[in-house]
Chains A and B, each alone.
Chain A
């Protein structure tokens, strides 16, 4: 027989006005199991709470029902009070007599009857409440950051500065990401390299950061606070310890004419190379597909075809036999900052929903380039040393036409979303062009100008008013070669006139797209992604940097198109989340999670199918002699979030959600 105390709150007049609290208290008095039932003006007030504590102590209550406001308002308050009096907080429940009763009804009689009913629900429910203990999971207070772009760098530094170890994994030979390729940045036009390089160096030197460049995440096991991550360290063919980054190998590499990725094919690199001078780590890697030594071996030539780099290498760091190796790291949290790729303009598209832009002859017409190539041309460290010159003949373009929304906001081309950054970088290009080529004519075809952001719209105005960029609202249908110029056929929808412009160069403002291999990474982390391949946040408004896998966070353009400030802000936010998680050795969680009755469980694993968090694990049930009797479901306490979908789905109800068990709901329904 339970000993339940009922405490009905008038909430001043709020409840008392329409609900006869005295009658409610009296009625509940006669309910079997109730040993104490009173009403009071303000239960949440100190004297109110004192009444509850006192009753718990003096009457040895084993359950407390507070009829007051919404539990969202005061559940914590009253549970704390109960705990203070030595009652397990989960033996205290609230009946919502205010928001769900007094505030929405006028008829005093019926409101009171309903209030009695609501309180009754809770009295019956609480008879089946179990004392629950907060769940504590040990946390491995080290973080993994995937991706060494600006977002990854920022997150890594913030966490490291917070005093926690970070493992930063970058798949390219150097960190830096797309930002390292940019010339200047909008809206301030400060030089990208100048602000990025110091951060990169900081990463390399930070005692709390372990940088694993030219590496990729192979597999992820475990759950929040306790991930085991296997990382593949791709073979550089160069010993990272021995190499001193002198660069002799590159000078002497016979193969000097390889279109460089970093310069988007506008500049050349060698077979053994460092992607760019400021690379971190400053250690070269051998491109085995291009290197004479490996090609020779592939052809089956016995003696080494080439070994120049090895010959000239002082510290003998070249290691032609190096193989991929693996390391496994224990981490408590993971920040995903894998960034983006650019829309590939050509006809070849990895997905058949994407159409490409054959009509712009990218690849066929040499002076049709994309935005990032323009960045390289404009960059002081770029192939032209910062001069804007045509790839075809190295002449200075007098007229450049910029086309916005290439690969974005166009259903016909397979992408609806807005890439967010293009309006701004085109404005930047126009301004840079104006700076570098006087009397240069910049013409921009746009659909809309999206310049939301601090100083952004001003920046666009500046492109138009100070740099005299001509903005035409409309699309371009086709580019034609016209001698050594490009004839741009488009339409100015504001004047309604078709326009044909002879341009020396055309720059396509290509959109941000999700990384091509995102699906496999998402599966490793069991996080979801939208149909464009951008990773999904846990909640679009309230949990923008979390994912639906606890302990995995997002930063930067892997979640959606983002510019640098947004990415950095998000990275810091993710870092804050990680540091918050790391603030305790033990991770505390509400014990309102699912529990499997393994005797009754048949192991059909419907629960596994419906669990949004992958919290269901398979466990072998063994008999005394260690023989497997059956395989049953088990709930991972660290992962379960307590939605209870498993229980409603379980045909035999062999899994229970603490706090909302079948017995509790049944009892409440019984009280109808």
Chain B
């Protein structure tokens, strides 16, 4: 079952490093799992934890959040603020039982096409092993009825 299951993964990435890194992976024809769909944002600083929750509500089995390495941020500090935001959110997520292995945080620079492919493949594999995350979207079911 687990092997036949194809996880649905969404990636929130910054425009300047990871998105460009993913472009590079493309121009370098580095093949990777087709399970990940990218949503482009200007900076990890813009990536809200609400995106992650909503994605889970909409049935995402896994999530990737990726941006510029420390000190590389196009906006100088967005990724530092994001790092703190996600560190704490991740602790909370884990605390309420949302397996943090479903969410990958990574720094992928514009020159790391290869690393992006790795992040995509490793996340896909990990989430595939964890199986579908139906529990979360279904939390709304049965309420009251």
- Check A-B contact in the complex, CB < 8 A: yes
Task: Decide yes or no whether B23 CB sits under 8 A from chain A.
Answer: yes
Query: Which of A96-104, A502-510, A514-522 has 4 or more CB atoms under 8 Å from chain B?
Result: A96-104
- The residue in chain A whose Cβ has the minimal distance to the Cβ of B59 is A672
Residue A49 CB within 8 A of the other chain: no
Assess A672 versus B60: contact at CB under 8 Å? Given A104-B32, A105-B31, A612-B77: yes
Determine the residue in chain A with the shortest Cβ distance to B40.
A71
Does A106 lie at the interface of the complex (its beta carbon under 8 Å from any beta carbon of B)?
A: yes
| CA distance in complex: A610, B73 (Å) | 14
State how many angstroms separate the Cβ of A149 from the closest Cβ of chain B: 27
Interface residues on B, range: 35 or more
A657's partner among B31, B46, B59 (CB-CB below 8 A) is B46
A205 within 8 Å of B (CB atoms) = no
| Known A-B contacts A648-B45, A648-B47, A649-B81; A100 and B58 likewise in contact (beta carbons under 8 Å) | no
Identify which of A70, A111, A649, A666 contacts B23 (C-beta below 8 A).
A70
A residues within 8 A CB of B10?
A: 669, 672
Interface status of A474 (Cβ within 8 A of chain B): no
Query: In the docked arrangement, what's the CA distance between A672 and B133, Å?
Result: 14
Known: A110-B34, A612-B75, A660-B41. A672 touches B8 (CB 8 A): yes
With A612-B77, A648-B45 as contacts: A121 and B34 at CB distance below 8 Å: no
Q: Contact between B23 and A645 (Cβ–Cβ < 8 Å)?
A: no
Q: Does B55 contact A644, Cβ atoms closer than 8 Å?
A: no
How far is the CB of B134 from the nearest CB of chain A, in Å?
14
Within 8 A of A (CB), among B1-60: 6, 8, 10, 19-20, 22-23, 25-27, 29-32, 34, 37-43, 45-51, 54-55, 58-60
Knowing A647-B48, A657-B42, say if A612 contacts B76 (CB, 8 Å): yes
Q: Is B138 an interface residue (CB 8 A)?
A: no
Tell me which of B19, B26, B54 has the highest count of chain A C-beta atoms within 10 A of its own C-beta.
Answer: B26
Q: Given A612-B78, A643-B78, A665-B39, verify A111-B54 contact (CB < 8 Å).
A: no
Q: Decide if A98 touches B77 in the complex (CB within 8 Å).
A: no
- Chain A residues 641 to 661 lying within 8 A of chain B, measured CB to CB, are 641-645, 647-649, 657, 659-660
Judge whether A670 and B58 touch: CB under 8 Å. yes
Chain B residues lying within 8 Å of A548, measured Cβ to Cβ, are 76
Return chain A residues, CB-CB under 8 Å to B76: 528, 538, 548, 612
Q: Whose C-beta in chain A lies nearest to the C-beta of B28? A: A103
Interface centre among B20, B30, B54 (most CB of A within 10 A): B54
Given the contacts A99-B26, A672-B60, A610 and B31 also touching, CB distance less than 8 Å: no
Contact pick for A121, options B37, B47, B54, B117, CB 8 Å:
B37
User: Does chain A have a CB within 8 A of B101?
Assistant: no
| A residues 431-445 in Cβ contact with B at 8 Å | none
Bound: A104/B78 CA distance, A = 29
Bound CA–CA A440/B40 (angstroms):
67
Report whether over half of chain B's contact residues are helix, strand or loop; otherwise say mixed: mixed
- B82 touches A (CB below 8 Å): yes
Q: A71-B40, A642-B42, A660-B46 are in contact. Are A610 and B81 (CB under 8 A)?
A: yes
- Size of the chain A interface, CB-CB below 8 angstroms: 46
B129 contacts the other chain (Cβ, under 8 Å)? no
B122 within 8 A of partner (CB): no
Give residues of chain B (98-141) contacting chain A, Cβ–Cβ below 8 Å. Answer: 117
Within the complex, the shortest CB–CB distance from A65 to chain B, in Å, comes to 14
Residues in B neighbouring A299, C-beta threshold 8 A? none
Once bound together, how far apart are the Cα atoms of A167 and B38, in whole Å? 49
Across the interface, B25 reaches (CB within 8 A) one of A104, A113, A592, A666, namely A104
A101–B49 alpha-carbon span in the complex (Å): 26
Expressed in whole angstroms, the minimum distance between the Cβ of B26 and any Cβ of chain A is 3
- In the assembled complex, how far is the CB of residue B6 from the closest CB belonging to chain A, in whole angstroms? 8
In contact, B39 and A645 (Cβ under 8 angstroms):
no
Q: Is A302 an interface residue (CB 8 A)?
A: no
Q: Within residues 612 to 644 of chain A, which ones have a CB less than 8 A from any CB in chain B? A: 612-613, 641-644
Is A217's CB within 8 Å of the partner chain B?
no
Residues of B within 8 A of A393 (CB): none
| Shortest beta-carbon distance from A189 to chain B in Å | 40
Contact (Cβ within 8 A) B39 A121: yes
Q: Which residues of B contact A113 (CB under 8 A)?
A: 34
Indicate if the CB atoms of A103 and B29 lie closer than 8 Å: yes
Q: Is A58 an interface residue (CB 8 A)?
A: no
Assembly CA distance A647 to B26 (angstroms): 31
Interchain nearest-CB distance for A89 vs B (Å): 17
Task: Kindly state whether residue A72 has any CB partner on chain B within 8 Å.
Answer: yes
Q: Provide the bound-state CA to CA distance between A508 and B19, in Å.
A: 50
Partner of A105, one of B34, B42, B43, B82: B34
Shortest CB–CB separation between residue A110 and chain B, in angstroms? 5
Q: Say if the beta carbon of A61 comes within 8 Å of chain B.
A: no
Cross-chain contact A117 with B22 (CB below 8 angstroms): no
Query: With A643-B45, A672-B60 as given contacts, are A114 and B25 in contact (CB-CB < 8 Å)?
Result: no
Which residue of B10, B32, B34 has the most chain A CB atoms within 10 A of its CB atom?
A: B34
Residues of A within 8 A of B37 (CB): 114, 117-118, 121
A660 touches B34 (CB 8 A): no
Please give, as numbers and ranges, the residues of chain B lying within 8 Å of A71 by CB-CB distance. Answer: 40
What residues of chain B lie closer than 8 Å to A72, measured between beta carbons? Answer: 19-20, 23
- In order of increasing CB-CB distance, the 9 nearest A-B pairs are A99-B26, A644-B46, A645-B45, A643-B75, A643-B43, A103-B26, A612-B77, A672-B58, A99-B23
23 A-B pairs (CB sep. < 8 Å): A72-B20, A96-B23, A96-B38, A99-B25, A103-B26, A105-B31, A107-B34, A114-B34, A114-B37, A117-B37, A610-B81, A612-B77, A644-B46, A645-B46, A645-B78, A648-B81, A659-B42, A662-B48, A666-B54, A669-B58, A670-B58, A672-B58, A672-B59
B binding-site residues for A, Cβ under 8 Å: 6, 8, 10, 19-20, 22-23, 25-27, 29-32, 34, 37-43, 45-51, 54-55, 58-60, 74-78, 81-82, 85, 117
Instruction: Using A70-B19, A113-B34, A643-B74 as known contacts, list a sample of 17 further A-B pairs with CB atoms less than 8 Å apart, ordered by residue number in A.
Output: A71-B40, A72-B20, A100-B22, A103-B27, A104-B32, A105-B34, A114-B34, A118-B37, A548-B76, A612-B77, A644-B42, A644-B43, A648-B45, A648-B81, A659-B42, A662-B50, A665-B39
